Amino acid sequence: MQYLAPCLALILLGTPAMAQSVGEKTGVNSTLGIAPKTEDFVKQAAISDMFEIESSKIAQERGNADQKAFAGTMIKDHETTSADLMALAGAWKTALPNRLDSTHQSKIDQLKSLRAPSSAHDTI
């Protein structure tokens, strides 16, 4: 259990970096003065919201009281932004993805596979 909470915290804190598009990570868009396409933004924002919701559900199942409360806030907030994004996507005539991409799904699978140590000597 000692390792589960820090692992969940690291993954949740690292999400903004993982949600960046290739252009954002490399600076290509800003260097060339090219604005990201609406479709790219919508896709990345939707996947980011889905990832935050799914990872927060895992934290709610496995965390302590404070972590569960924070996870509940994350779920609520990202459900709100997802609804807002859905409304905007309709106005922009852009389709939203209905599932995580393989990169984010593998992160969720990693979180699901984490288990708390069975005894005190397993934490060493």
Among 63, 53, 61, 58, residue whose Cα is nearest residue 109: 58
Residues contacting residue 85 through CB under 8 Å, at least 6 positions apart: 42, 45, 46, 49, 96
Among 88, 106, 113, 109, residue whose Cα is nearest residue 38: 88
pLDDT tier at 124 (50, 70, 90 boundaries)? Answer: very low
Q: What is the pTM of this model?
A: 0.68
Domain count, the chain: 1
What separation in angstroms does the CA of 84 have from each of 28, 37, 91?
28, 18, 11
Which residue's structure tokens are 């409304």? 87
Q: Is there a domain that residue 105 lies in?
A: yes
Q: Is there a domain that residue 55 lies in?
A: yes
Q: Is there a domain that residue 80 lies in?
A: yes
Q: Is there a domain that residue 19 lies in?
A: no
Q: Is there a domain that residue 30 lies in?
A: no
- Share above pLDDT 90 across residues of the chain, in percent, rounded to a whole number: 51
pLDDT in tens, 18-54: 555 555 555 556 667 777 788 888 899 999 999 999 9
Phi, psi angle pair for 64, to nearest 5°: -80, -175
- Domain with 86 in it: 1-13+39-114
Q: Is there a domain that residue 124 lies in?
A: no
Q: Is there a domain that residue 52 lies in?
A: yes
CB of 73 closer than 8 Å to CB of 51: no
Q: Is there a domain that residue 56 lies in?
A: yes
